[in-house]
Amino acid sequence: MFAEGELVNNRIGAYMILPTSNDSIGFHTHGSRKEQELYIVLEGQGQYLEKDDWESPEKLYPVERGSITTMRGKGFHGIKNIGNSPLIVFVITTNERKAEQ
């Protein structure tokens, strides 16, 4: 199903963001690592945050159970809880495929 070395450095994880003003997966970038990151919201209500660089204005998108977000390249992104219960997010980080030679 996968070519040799294709899944190197790919990661899967889950986060629980509690309903307090300080809990979030804060703004971060994957820089030049050529990664794509997916957030799949399993429970709760949140806000997906996105911007092109540190100085750009924030773009805010509501997320809830069943929402899927994606970020690739050098953009900045994060997610925070805006509900009254834990926000549970399944996270998949993958590397872009190497160009065929």
Contact between 26 and 32 (Cβ < 8 Å): no
- In angstroms and rounded to an integer, the radius of gyration of the C-alpha atoms of the chain is 15
Specify the number of domains making up the chain: 1
Q: How far apart are CA 28 and CA 74, in angstroms?
A: 9
The 10s digit of each residue's pLDDT in 60-96 is 999 999 999 988 777 888 899 999 999 999 988 887 6
The 10s digit of each residue's pLDDT in 1-45 is 455 655 556 777 787 888 887 778 888 777 766 778 889 999 999
In a domain, 5, yes or no: no
In a domain, 91, yes or no: yes
pLDDT band at 53 (very low <50, low <70, confident <90, very high): confident
Contact between 77 and 48 (Cβ < 8 Å): yes
| Domain residue limits at 24 | 11-95
In a domain, 62, yes or no: yes
| 55 DSSP assignment | T
In a domain, 101, yes or no: no
In a domain, 43, yes or no: yes
Give me the CATH number covering residue 61. 2.60.120.10
In a domain, 73, yes or no: yes
In a domain, 69, yes or no: yes
